[in-house]
Protein backbone atom coordinates (compact mmCIF):
# COMPACT_ATOMS: atom_id res chain seq x y z
CA UNK A 1 0.00 0.00 0.00
CA UNK A 2 1.38 3.41 -0.96
CA UNK A 3 1.91 6.23 1.51
CA UNK A 4 -0.86 8.13 -0.29
CA UNK A 5 -3.44 5.58 0.84
CA UNK A 6 -1.78 5.17 4.24
CA UNK A 7 -1.95 8.90 4.97
CA UNK A 8 -5.55 9.54 3.89
CA UNK A 9 -7.95 10.58 6.67
CA UNK A 10 -9.66 7.68 8.43
CA UNK A 11 -13.07 9.22 7.74
CA UNK A 12 -12.57 9.19 3.96
CA UNK A 13 -13.05 5.65 2.64
CA UNK A 14 -15.43 2.93 1.44
CA UNK A 15 -17.07 0.47 3.85
CA UNK A 16 -18.13 -2.77 2.15
CA UNK A 17 -19.71 -6.14 2.82
CA UNK A 18 -20.23 -9.35 0.83
CA UNK A 19 -22.87 -12.04 1.05
CA UNK A 20 -21.46 -15.29 -0.32
CA UNK A 21 -22.29 -18.92 -1.06
CA UNK A 22 -19.93 -20.13 1.66
CA UNK A 23 -16.83 -19.41 3.68
CA UNK A 24 -13.93 -19.82 1.26
CA UNK A 25 -13.28 -18.67 -2.30
CA UNK A 26 -10.46 -21.22 -2.39
CA UNK A 27 -13.12 -23.93 -2.08
CA UNK A 28 -15.15 -22.51 -4.96
CA UNK A 29 -17.47 -20.24 -2.99
CA UNK A 30 -18.54 -17.03 -4.72
CA UNK A 31 -19.96 -13.64 -3.84
CA UNK A 32 -23.71 -13.22 -4.39
CA UNK A 33 -24.19 -9.65 -3.16
CA UNK A 34 -22.01 -6.61 -2.61
CA UNK A 35 -23.01 -3.59 -0.56
CA UNK A 36 -20.88 -0.53 0.14
CA UNK A 37 -21.07 3.05 1.34
CA UNK A 38 -18.71 5.91 0.61
CA UNK A 39 -17.70 8.05 3.60
CA UNK A 40 -16.37 11.54 2.90
CA UNK A 41 -15.43 13.92 5.71
CA UNK A 42 -17.23 11.72 8.21
CA UNK A 43 -20.51 11.49 6.27
CA UNK A 44 -22.05 8.81 4.09
CA UNK A 45 -22.29 10.39 0.64
CA UNK A 46 -22.89 7.47 -1.75
CA UNK A 47 -23.99 3.82 -1.82
CA UNK A 48 -23.42 0.76 -3.99
CA UNK A 49 -25.53 -2.41 -3.91
CA UNK A 50 -25.89 -5.26 -6.38
CA UNK A 51 -26.96 -8.88 -6.37
CA UNK A 52 -24.75 -11.11 -8.52
CA UNK A 53 -25.28 -14.30 -10.47
CA UNK A 54 -22.24 -16.40 -9.50
CA UNK A 55 -22.98 -19.28 -11.84
CA UNK A 56 -23.15 -21.73 -8.92
CA UNK A 57 -26.05 -22.72 -6.71
CA UNK A 58 -26.68 -20.99 -3.41
CA UNK A 59 -26.96 -23.55 -0.58
CA UNK A 60 -30.25 -23.68 1.30
CA UNK A 61 -28.48 -22.62 4.50
CA UNK A 62 -27.31 -19.41 2.84
CA UNK A 63 -30.75 -18.78 1.35
CA UNK A 64 -32.25 -19.05 4.84
CA UNK A 65 -29.53 -16.89 6.41
CA UNK A 66 -29.56 -14.05 3.91
CA UNK A 67 -32.92 -14.30 2.19
CA UNK A 68 -31.07 -14.30 -1.14
CA UNK A 69 -32.43 -17.13 -3.29
CA UNK A 70 -31.27 -18.83 -6.45
CA UNK A 71 -34.30 -17.36 -8.19
CA UNK A 72 -33.26 -13.84 -7.17
CA UNK A 73 -29.73 -14.06 -8.55
CA UNK A 74 -30.78 -15.91 -11.71
CA UNK A 75 -31.90 -12.63 -13.27
CA UNK A 76 -28.99 -10.62 -11.88
CA UNK A 77 -25.85 -9.47 -13.66
CA UNK A 78 -22.76 -11.67 -13.49
CA UNK A 79 -20.09 -11.30 -10.84
CA UNK A 80 -17.66 -10.02 -13.46
CA UNK A 81 -20.00 -7.23 -14.58
CA UNK A 82 -20.82 -6.11 -11.04
CA UNK A 83 -17.25 -6.29 -9.77
CA UNK A 84 -16.01 -4.13 -12.66
CA UNK A 85 -18.48 -1.47 -11.54
CA UNK A 86 -17.44 -1.89 -7.91
CA UNK A 87 -13.78 -1.52 -8.87
CA UNK A 88 -14.66 1.87 -10.34
CA UNK A 89 -16.70 2.78 -7.25
CA UNK A 90 -13.76 2.26 -4.87
CA UNK A 91 -11.12 3.86 -7.10
CA UNK A 92 -8.68 5.83 -4.97
CA UNK A 93 -10.25 4.77 -1.68
CA UNK A 94 -9.17 2.78 1.32
CA UNK A 95 -11.59 0.09 2.51
CA UNK A 96 -13.12 -1.06 5.79
CA UNK A 97 -15.10 -4.21 6.56
CA UNK A 98 -16.27 -5.95 9.72
CA UNK A 99 -14.22 -9.13 10.07
CA UNK A 100 -12.28 -7.84 7.07
CA UNK A 101 -10.21 -10.98 6.54
CA UNK A 102 -13.35 -12.76 5.30
CA UNK A 103 -14.50 -10.02 2.93
CA UNK A 104 -10.98 -9.29 1.71
CA UNK A 105 -10.50 -12.90 0.58
CA UNK A 106 -13.61 -12.71 -1.57
CA UNK A 107 -12.79 -9.23 -2.84
CA UNK A 108 -9.33 -10.27 -3.99
CA UNK A 109 -10.66 -13.51 -5.51
CA UNK A 110 -13.37 -11.72 -7.47
CA UNK A 111 -10.94 -9.06 -8.67
CA UNK A 112 -8.45 -11.74 -9.78
CA UNK A 113 -11.16 -13.24 -11.96
CA UNK A 114 -11.54 -9.94 -13.83
CA UNK A 115 -7.78 -9.26 -13.82
CA UNK A 116 -7.98 -6.17 -11.61
CA UNK A 117 -5.13 -5.28 -9.26
CA UNK A 118 -5.75 -4.51 -5.58
CA UNK A 119 -4.07 -1.22 -4.71
CA UNK A 120 -6.32 -0.24 -1.80
CA UNK A 121 -5.61 -0.39 1.92
CA UNK A 122 -8.03 -2.34 4.09
CA UNK A 123 -8.82 -2.15 7.82
CA UNK A 124 -11.03 -4.23 10.09
CA UNK A 125 -13.70 -2.58 12.22
CA UNK A 126 -14.03 -5.73 14.34
CA UNK A 127 -10.35 -5.62 15.37
CA UNK A 128 -10.58 -1.87 15.98
CA UNK A 129 -13.68 -2.34 18.15
CA UNK A 130 -11.91 -4.99 20.24
CA UNK A 131 -9.32 -2.37 21.16
CA UNK A 132 -11.53 0.70 21.48
CA UNK A 133 -14.80 -0.77 22.86
CA UNK A 134 -13.25 -3.30 25.21
CA UNK A 135 -16.29 -3.37 27.52
CA UNK A 136 -18.76 -4.44 24.82
CA UNK A 137 -20.45 -7.84 25.51
CA UNK A 138 -18.89 -9.13 22.29
CA UNK A 139 -17.79 -7.60 19.01
CA UNK A 140 -20.32 -8.98 16.58
CA UNK A 141 -21.81 -6.28 14.40
CA UNK A 142 -25.37 -6.56 15.77
CA UNK A 143 -24.09 -6.47 19.36
CA UNK A 144 -21.98 -3.39 18.74
CA UNK A 145 -24.87 -1.65 16.99
CA UNK A 146 -27.02 -2.17 20.09
CA UNK A 147 -24.15 -1.35 22.48
CA UNK A 148 -23.49 2.03 20.84
CA UNK A 149 -27.09 2.68 19.75
CA UNK A 150 -26.04 2.97 16.12
CA UNK A 151 -28.50 3.74 13.31
CA UNK A 152 -29.82 0.40 12.04
CA UNK A 153 -32.93 -0.98 10.37
CA UNK A 154 -32.48 -4.26 12.24
CA UNK A 155 -31.62 -6.19 9.07
CA UNK A 156 -28.42 -8.24 9.09
CA UNK A 157 -26.83 -10.61 6.57
CA UNK A 158 -27.73 -8.32 3.68
CA UNK A 159 -24.75 -6.56 2.23
CA UNK A 160 -25.84 -2.92 2.09
CA UNK A 161 -27.52 -3.00 5.51
CA UNK A 162 -24.39 -4.50 7.08
CA UNK A 163 -22.15 -1.99 5.28
CA UNK A 164 -24.27 0.91 6.56
CA UNK A 165 -24.12 -0.29 10.17
CA UNK A 166 -20.37 -0.90 9.84
CA UNK A 167 -19.93 2.64 8.52
CA UNK A 168 -21.73 4.06 11.56
CA UNK A 169 -19.62 1.81 13.79
CA UNK A 170 -16.42 3.04 12.15
CA UNK A 171 -17.39 6.67 12.68
CA UNK A 172 -18.27 5.86 16.30
CA UNK A 173 -14.81 4.33 16.78
CA UNK A 174 -13.16 7.48 15.43
CA UNK A 175 -15.33 9.68 17.66
CA UNK A 176 -14.33 7.61 20.70
CA UNK A 177 -10.64 8.04 19.89
CA UNK A 178 -11.04 11.79 19.51
CA UNK A 179 -12.97 12.12 22.77
CA UNK A 180 -11.05 9.73 25.01
CA UNK A 181 -7.52 10.18 23.67
CA UNK A 182 -7.59 13.69 22.21
CA UNK A 183 -6.57 12.41 18.79
CA UNK A 184 -7.71 14.81 16.10
CA UNK A 185 -5.70 13.89 13.01
CA UNK A 186 -6.54 10.21 12.68
CA UNK A 187 -5.20 8.68 9.48
CA UNK A 188 -6.14 5.41 7.88
CA UNK A 189 -2.61 4.16 8.55
CA UNK A 190 -3.04 4.92 12.25
CA UNK A 191 -6.22 2.80 12.33
CA UNK A 192 -4.53 -0.06 10.51
CA UNK A 193 -1.68 -0.04 13.01
CA UNK A 194 -4.11 0.21 15.93
CA UNK A 195 -5.89 -2.99 14.85
CA UNK A 196 -2.55 -4.84 15.02
CA UNK A 197 -1.42 -3.41 18.35
CA UNK A 198 -1.73 -5.77 21.37
CA UNK A 199 -4.13 -4.46 24.00
CA UNK A 200 -1.43 -4.24 26.66
CA UNK A 201 0.55 -1.86 24.43
CA UNK A 202 -2.30 0.52 23.62
CA UNK A 203 -1.42 3.12 26.28
CA UNK A 204 2.07 3.55 24.84
CA UNK A 205 0.68 3.53 21.31
CA UNK A 206 -1.74 6.38 22.01
CA UNK A 207 0.93 8.38 23.84
CA UNK A 208 3.40 7.98 20.99
CA UNK A 209 0.82 9.09 18.46
CA UNK A 210 0.01 12.26 20.42
CA UNK A 211 3.74 13.06 20.62
CA UNK A 212 4.08 12.61 16.88
CA UNK A 213 1.18 14.96 16.23
CA UNK A 214 2.65 17.57 18.57
CA UNK A 215 5.97 17.46 16.72
pLDDT tens string 152-185: 876 788 999 999 999 999 999 999 999 988 887 8
Query: Does residue 1 surpass a pLDDT of 60?
Result: no
pLDDT band at 201 (very low <50, low <70, confident <90, very high): very high
For 30, the domain range is 3-214
Alpha-carbon gap, residue 195 to 97, rounded angstroms: 12
Query: How many CB atoms are located within 10 Å of the residue 120 CB?
Result: 19
Residues 6+ away with beta carbon under 8 Å from 208: none
Strands 95-97 and 13-20: parallel
Quote the pLDDT of residue 161: 95
Q: What is the dihedral of CA 46, 93, 97, 114, to 10 degrees?
A: 100
pLDDT tens string 38-49: 999 999 999 999
Over residues 13-19, the mean pLDDT reads 98
> What CATH number did the domain enclosing 144 receive?
3.30.420.10
Query: Does residue 97 surpass a pLDDT of 70?
Result: yes
Stated as kind and residue range, the H or E segment containing 164 is helix 159-181
pTM, rounded to two decimals = 0.94
Task: Kindly report the average pLDDT of the chain as a whole number.
Answer: 93
Residue % of the chain over a pLDDT of 90: 84
CA distances from 107 to 7, 90, 96, 152 (A): 23, 12, 12, 25
Query: Does residue 2 surpass a pLDDT of 60?
Result: no
Query: Does residue 192 surpass a pLDDT of 50?
Result: yes
**Domains in the chain, number:** 1
Query: Does residue 19 surpass a pLDDT of 90?
Result: yes
Query: Does residue 3 surpass a pLDDT of 80?
Result: no
Alpha-carbon gap, residue 134 to 85, rounded angstroms: 37
pLDDT tens string 111-124: 999 999 988 999 99
pLDDT band at 215 (very low <50, low <70, confident <90, very high): very low
- Alpha carbon of residue 138 to chain centroid: 18
Query: Does residue 12 surpass a pLDDT of 80?
Result: yes
pLDDT band at 209 (very low <50, low <70, confident <90, very high): confident
Alpha-carbon gap, residue 64 to 55, rounded angstroms: 19
| Cβ-contact 58, 30 below 8 angstroms | no
Quote the pLDDT of residue 154: 66
pLDDT tens string 36-86: 999 999 999 999 999 999 999 999 999 999 999 999 999 999 999 999 999
Amino acid sequence: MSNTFHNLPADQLVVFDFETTGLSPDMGDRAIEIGAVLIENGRITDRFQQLMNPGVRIPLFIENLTGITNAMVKESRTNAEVMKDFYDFIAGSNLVAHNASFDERFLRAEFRRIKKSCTFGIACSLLAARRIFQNAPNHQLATLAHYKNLPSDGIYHRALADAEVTAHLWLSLLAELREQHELDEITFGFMQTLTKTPKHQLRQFYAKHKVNIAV
